């Protein structure tokens, strides 16, 4: 089964795999497996900036809430003010900064990363971002089913059919599904109805885009936005195939670490959605 998704700021799969192979070749025959894993972690770990502030907080600023460190405003990579539309979101972002230790680790700050992405990458180009979400609707994960084994077919139906039913009832969008990876042409009316549900507010849109790219499903993202799914349910629906494969072939430590990183990103997007509603 093909499946899209994953955060764009992670290493491309082919580069990451090449790095893993290189590290493994450097291990001695008697090296323990966990040492190889740790070597890969060190190879991809960025240099971290030392913490330079004592207090993290926020303050009202121009119909938003700016994040402050020691009373000074924080800026995004594009040098814009890091500010959230609600006090609850600003408090959560400030809490990420406050929770840092001796160094500042962006990998443990999913809300901050998402806020930066929205402020620098969505606010000025909402139509282009919405168009990317629409592309996922045309080949949504939920519409491509396995032809076997039967237990996997049934599991996909159990998690995916209720979301497609919700799309029919709540959005007026009737999507078709098929077995295999052959492209399923969706009805234009269904695509239009689902596209109309994509928010135009930059923060909601940014959250929907994040969940869409993480899960490979714009329908899962819209169901999460509308409160049909919890973050945990959205994650479970998006990983039916992956969970099945892990049950058959076992779990890989590096894959699980990457998966935890991505789940934190989905939880951050879900928090934005809950804070703003729809």
Read off the pTM. Answer: 0.83
Residue 63 has a pLDDT of 87
Mean pLDDT, the chain, rounded, equals 87
User: According to the 3-state scheme, what is the secondary structure of 14-32?
Assistant: HHHHHHHHHHHHHCCCCCC
How would you classify the pairing of strands 144-145 and 178-179? parallel
> Which pLDDT score, from 0 to 100, does residue 40 have?
47
Nearest to 276 by CA among 23, 56, 92: 92
CA distance 193 to 209: 17
Spatial CB neighbours of 218, under 8 Å, sequence gap ≥ 6: 133, 134, 136, 137, 140, 194, 198, 208, 212
Distance (Å) of CA 5 to CA 68, 82, 167, 169, 253: 33, 26, 21, 26, 19
Class of the domain covering 50-104: alpha beta
Confidence band, pLDDT 50/70/90 cuts, at residue 20: very low
pLDDT, tens digit, for every residue of 30-86? 434 445 444 544 555 568 999 999 999 999 998 899 999 999 999 999 999 999 999
Q: 126-276: what fold?
A: ATP12-like fold (1.10.3580)
> Where do the domains of the chain lie?
50-104, 126-276
């Amino acid at each position: 089964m093909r499946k899209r998704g994953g955060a764009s700021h992670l290493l491309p799969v082919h580069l990451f795999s090449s790095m893993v192979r290189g590290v493994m070749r450097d291990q001695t025959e008697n090296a323990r497996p966990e040492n190889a894993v740790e070597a890969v972690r060190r190879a991809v770990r960025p240099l971290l900036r030392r913490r330079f502030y004592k207090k993290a907080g926020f303050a009202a600023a121009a119909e938003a809430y700016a994040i402050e460190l020691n009373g000074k405003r924080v800026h995004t990579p594009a040098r814009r003010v890091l500010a959230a539309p609600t006090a609850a979101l600003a408090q959560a972002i400030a809490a990420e900064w406050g929770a840092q230790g001796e160094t500042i680790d962006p990998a443990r700050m999913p809300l901050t990363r998402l806020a930066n992405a929205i402020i620098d990458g969505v606010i000025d180009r909402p139509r282009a971002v919405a168009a990317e979400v629409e592309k996922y609707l045309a080949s949504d994960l939920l519409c491509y089913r396995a032809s076997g084994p039967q237990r996997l077919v049934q599991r996909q139906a159990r998690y995916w059919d209720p979301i497609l039913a919700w799309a029919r009832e709540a959005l007026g969008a009737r999507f078709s599904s098929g077995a295999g990876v052959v492209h399923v042409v969706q009805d234009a009316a269904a695509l239009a109805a689902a596209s109309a549900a994509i928010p135009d507010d930059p923060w909601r849109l940014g959250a929907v885009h994040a969940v869409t790219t993480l899960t490979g499903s714009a329908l899962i993202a819209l169901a999460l936005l509308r409160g049909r799914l919890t973050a945990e349910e959205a994650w479970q629906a998006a990983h039916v195939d992956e969970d099945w494969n892990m049950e058959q072939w076992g779990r890989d430590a590096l894959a699980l670490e990457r998966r935890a990183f991505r789940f934190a990103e989905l939880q951050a997007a879900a928090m934005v959605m809950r804070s703003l509603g729809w």
